[in-house]
């Protein structure tokens, strides 16, 4: 198991959670608990890791930015308080908002920290679908490393293209919300954050 505390990686981590009508209240709660469990193994207390969180359906809702919560207890309380709000699926607008609003200095983004996002969804886009991949590519080009978690999906092309290339290496697929495996996903995510080559890449990317 690789913990961020072992490598001291400075990481700005943003979660994008699909809350469209297909997710359901119980599925949404499972996602929130998955994130809480993952962050218990992150290096929150030292300040190396900052966390922001957005939900999205027809439109994105920023629940807190990177500069809001500085302790694990604060994060756990804030995450569990995020409400489920049903609607359609507009991943394009979520990615755009993440890039232009959440990964900014005003929202707590740090020039010397890796920018990492994890998008969790149980479906493909059905609003502005033609903009989803261009928004993902623009985010990759800005230096945001995107992991995608797909739940109960057989059509994965859009998810692979949203994930940072190579897409298959940054895409996790599970059969149901009950099968979210924290260890597998967090191990790969934290390993990527700690990888010196990846961190070197982020350090030379200008941050707006």
List the domain boundaries for the chain. 4-146+161-202
Residue 1 has a pLDDT of 38
Residues 80-95: what's their mean pLDDT?
Answer: 95
Q: Which two tokens stand for residue 170?
A: 């940054």
> Does residue 120 surpass a pLDDT of 60?
yes
The residues, any chain, with a CB within 8 Å of residue 114's CB and separated by 6 or more, are 9, 10, 11, 12, 145, 193, 198, 199, 202
Mean pLDDT check: name the lowest of 75-84, 85-94, 167-176, 196-205.
196-205
Mean pLDDT check: name the lowest of 35-44, 127-136, 158-167.
35-44
Domain 4-146+161-202 annotated CATH 3.40.50.970: no
Report whether the peptide linkage leading into residue 166 is cis, meaning its omega lies within 30 degrees of zero: yes
Query: Residue 52 in contact with residue 17, Cβ under 8 Å?
Result: no
């Amino acid at each position: 198991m690789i913990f961020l505390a072992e490598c001291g990686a400075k990481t700005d981590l943003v979660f994008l959670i699909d809350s469209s009508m297909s997710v359901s209240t119980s599925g949404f709660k499972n996602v929130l608990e998955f994130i809480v469990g993952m962050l218990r193994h992150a290096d929150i207390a030292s300040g190396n890791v900052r966390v922001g969180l957005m939900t999205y359906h027809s439109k994105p809702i920023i629940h807190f930015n990177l500069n809001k919560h500085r302790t694990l207890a604060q994060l756990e309380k804030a995450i569990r308080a995020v409400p489920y709000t049903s609607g359609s699926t507009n991943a394009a607008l979520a990615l755009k908002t993440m890039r232009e609003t959440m990964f900014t200095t005003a929202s707590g983004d740090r020039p010397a920290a890796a920018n990492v996002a994890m998008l969790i969804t149980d479906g493909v886009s059905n609003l502005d679908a033609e903009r989803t991949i261009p928004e993902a590519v623009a985010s990759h080009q800005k230096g945001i490393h995107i992991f995608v978690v797909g739940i109960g999906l057989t059509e994965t092309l859009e998810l692979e293209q949203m994930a940072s290339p190579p897409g298959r290496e940054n895409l996790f697929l599970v059969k149901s919300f009950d099968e979210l495996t924290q260890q597998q996903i967090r191990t790969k995510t934290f390993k990527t954050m700690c990888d010196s080559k990846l961190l070197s890449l982020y350090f030379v990317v200008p941050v707006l």
